[in-house]
Amino acid sequence: GKRPMTGASETWQLPVWEFVLVPLLLHRLTKLTGSDKYVDHVVQWCQVTSGLKMAAPDELFCWEGDWGLPSVSTDCLVVLAYAQFAGAPLKLRKISNPWRSPSGSLPALRTNQKETLSRPSDIIIHLRKQKYNADYDLSAKEGADSLAFISLLEEKLTPALIYAFWIEPKNYVDVTRRWYAEHLPFPLNFFLPGRMQRQQLEKLRLLRGDESLEAGEELEKEMYRDAAECMNLLSQRLGSHKFFFGDSPSSLDAYVFGHLAPILKSKLPNAKLQQHLKSLDNLTNFCTNILLLYFPRDGRESQKTTSQPEGADFDHVPNKRRKQFLSALVALGAMLSYALLTGMVSIQHVQHEALEEPPDLQHIGPHEEEGDG
């Protein structure tokens, strides 16, 4: 079933020898004394002397957050929300360099058995196997409904999200590429956003089943229409409830939050999806409530950021001046290397020879100076 965050972290691992020696010891004492009064003493002694160790928590690597969200990535938001709902005691690492993750992508879960999982569905299945199950109280019908709505999200809303953030030209240039270019370390910030865009386009083509898919007004209308229909169905299913299946959040709530929160909180120039979402008050309140209940720190940081003047948009970027200085040094080094390789050394050599020409030149200088005098 569900476990609270505090209690769940106290998962003990017994040394192997206890499983062999302790039963033998208890059996021997009971046989010799004809009583089991020593059982409690032996158990207490084992707990004190055996060096019980806490199981190391799994490590979750995610994109760092912005816009008042714990992460800017839909997949990361799904995993983060589910872990919070289920009370999973994960060691969270928010990073801005996917190459630092054990899988080279984000999200990534490194288990205490050193196994690496990357897909949100695989991570959630792993957490369920560890008894952190946010769907524990769902009936069979509710479980089936949950799977159906998650499939609907993947089919109707995910393509529109990819298009809005990665394909729509103005949104990509002004928001998505800009954000990753500012947060990725040098030199990844020069080429990784473009590579990520190509990967997202390939994912969109797979979802749509069209290898020749290209951006265009007709495609945008079709995908935004599907996304709006999906949001309308979710709004109808949620109704006036706090969560989709009563008072406790489930995996469906995690998936819906992960898909809708970026739409709600980002500042895209082309904000058609956001406009439609804001017209559905219950879905807007649903996202806001989850942020307040489960990610209050990110909400507070968002308020601090929005209170800054517009001219301070990039003041929060860590080590910005240092990155700019390093970039300038690298650029200068590249220019000098180019100059050396293209033969500017010979020009410097000619100048050097000119300085060393004999005495004629050296006698002209003083003579002219005397004339000036």
Q: pLDDT tens, 45-62?
A: 555 444 444 568 899 999
233 and 173 housed in the same domain: yes
Q: How many domains is the chain partitioned into structurally?
A: 2
Q: Single out the residue in 85, 100, 129 at which a domain terminates.
A: 129
Residues 253 and 193 in one domain: yes
Give the confidence band of 158 by pLDDT, cuts at 50, 70, 90: very high
- Whether residues 41 and 159 share a domain: the answer is no
> Residue 17 sits in a domain of what CATH number?
3.40.30.10
145 plus 282 within the same structural domain = yes
The pLDDT tens digits for 117-152 are 999 999 999 999 999 999 999 999 999 999 999 999
**C-alpha 113 chain-centroid distance:** 22
Q: What is the pLDDT of residue 208?
A: 86
- Over residues 303-337, the pLDDT tens digits come to 554 444 333 333 333 454 555 556 656 656 666 66
Judge if 118 and 258 occupy the same domain. no
186 and 270 housed in the same domain? yes
Domain boundary among 129, 156, 171: 129
**212: CATH:** 1.20.1050
Over residues 335-348, the pLDDT tens digits come to 666 556 666 544 44
Give the residue numbers spanning the domain of 159: 140-296
Question: Are 207 and 166 within one domain?
Answer: yes
144 and 292 both lie in a single domain:
yes
Instruction: Quote the percentage of the chain above a pLDDT of 90.
Output: 60
Give exposure, 120-138, as e/b (b: 16+ Cβ within 10 Å): beebbebbbebebbbbeeb
Task: Identify whether residues 59 and 187 lie together within a single domain.
Answer: no
Provide the pLDDT for residue 52. 41
Domain boundary among 264, 296, 328: 296
Sign of CA dihedral 358, 360, 364, 367: positive
74 and 201 both lie in a single domain: no
Nearest Cα to 241, choosing from 191, 283, 186?
283
pLDDT of residue 216: 81
Looking at the fold, whether 255 and 145 belong to one and the same domain comes out as yes
> Do both 242 and 167 map to the same domain?
yes
pTM > 0.85: yes or no: no
Separation of alpha carbons 39 and 41, rounded Å: 5
In the structure, what pLDDT confidence band is assigned to residue 212 with cuts at 50, 70 and 90?
confident
Residue 337, domain member (yes or no)? no
Q: Residues 333, 339, 341, 345: is their CA dihedral positive or negative?
A: negative
pLDDT of 184 > 50? The answer is yes
